[in-house]
């Protein structure tokens, strides 16, 4: 017989991003972690949300080039001296 | 004179090499508006140049420039800066994409099929109050506290905007994926 989850699903789900961002305090991080160990409904949801965040972040830092901007900035710096 | 040339040369070598990163961040903060992003980068670069004496060589120049850019955006370029805090209400609700998709793609593999442009467009289309925290957290890697400090809002507000912003973003990506046939 497994121990019942200490927090209900909605308490875990509303903290999904704080948990995945490691922004919860140690007590809550542990509560959510333990909930996920035993909850068959929340575990896949958290996995899905983790995949989503990793996807957004893996796009990496946006880098874009604007030649006009380079020209403008060099001119502005020349003026400033 | 030669001191000036030296300053320009050092600034170019250490700071201007980060121009593309700065512009990338500026574009996302400005929701894809190119002209506004260019003005923002120029303003931030000029501020950095004037404050160049304060920059300590050997420390992270890119991080220093990003902070100047971020603060310049928040203080001078935000379109919502004079509006009262909008009601924290979201008609999209906290609709869970997972609930709809768990039967066919519970691991979210469809995310990998989306192309960069679709992701960028979805970020740019977020309302500014949600877009800024999402960009600062997920693209810039700032902590909740750092975002709260930068935006001068409580950490609780950062949490709720990140939550709603990400849910909206997720819902939009899901829509794209369906439109493109990545999800049957």
DSSP B67-99: HHHHHHIIIII-TTTTSPPPP---TTTT--HHH
Give the architecture (CATH level 2) of B2-77. Answer: Orthogonal Bundle (1.10)
Q: Spell out the domain ranges in chain A.
A: 1-60
| B111–chain A Cβ distance below 8 A for any pair | yes
Q: What's the ipTM?
A: 0.86
| DSSP count for chain B of H helices, then E strands | 10, 0
Q: Which of B42, B60, B145, B160 best probes binding to A when mutated, by most A CB atoms within 10 angstroms?
A: B42
Instruction: Name chain A contacts of B134, Cβ cutoff 8 Å.
Output: 56
Q: What are the tens digits of pLDDT across the range B68-86?
A: 999 999 999 887 654 545 5
- B 40-59 near A (Cβ less than 8 A): 41-42, 45-46, 49-50
Between CA A14 and CA B113 the distance in angstroms is: 28
> Any idea which fold B97-179 has?
Arc Repressor Mutant, subunit A (1.10.10)
Cα of B82 vs its chain's centroid, Å: 20
Q: Which distant-in-sequence residues (6+ apart) come within 8 Å of B43 by Cβ?
A: B72, B76, B77
Q: What are the tens digits of pLDDT across the range B121-169?
A: 999 999 999 999 999 999 989 999 999 999 999 999 999 999 999 999 9
* Location of structure tokens 């100047």: B68
């Amino acid at each position: 017989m497994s121990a019942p989850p200490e927090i209900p699903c909605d308490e875990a789900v509303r903290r999904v991003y704080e948990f995945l961002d490691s922004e919860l305090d140690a007590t809550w991080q542990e509560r959510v972690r333990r909930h996920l160990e035993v909850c068959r409904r929340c575990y896949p949801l958290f996995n899905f949300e983790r995949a989503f965040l990793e996807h957004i972040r893996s796009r990496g830092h946006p880098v874009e080039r604007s030649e006009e901007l380079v020209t403008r900035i060099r001119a502005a710096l020349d003026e400033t001296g | 004179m030669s001191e000036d040339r030296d300053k320009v040369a050092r600034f170019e070598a250490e700071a201007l090499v980060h121009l593309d990163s700065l512009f990338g961040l500026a574009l996302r903060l400005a929701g894809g508006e190119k002209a506004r992003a260019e003005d923002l980068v120029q303003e931030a670069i000029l501020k950095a140049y004037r404050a160049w004496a304060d920059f300590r060589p050997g420390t992270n120049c890119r991080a220093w420039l990003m902070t100047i850019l971020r603060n310049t955006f928040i203080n001078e370029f935000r379109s919502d800066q004079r509006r009262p805090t909008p009601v924290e209400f979201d008609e999209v609700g906290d609709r869970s994409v997972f609930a709809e998709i768990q039967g066919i793609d519970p691991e979210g593999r469809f995310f990998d099929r989306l192309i960069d442009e679709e992701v960028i467009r979805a970020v740019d289309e977020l309302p500014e109050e949600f877009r800024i925290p999402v960009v600062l957290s997920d693209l810039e890697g700032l902590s909740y506290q750092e975002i709260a400090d930068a935006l001068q809002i409580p950490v609780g507000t950062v949490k709720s905007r990140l939550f709603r912003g990400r849910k909206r973003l997720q819902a939009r990506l899901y829509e794209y994926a369906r439109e493109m046939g990545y999800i049957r």
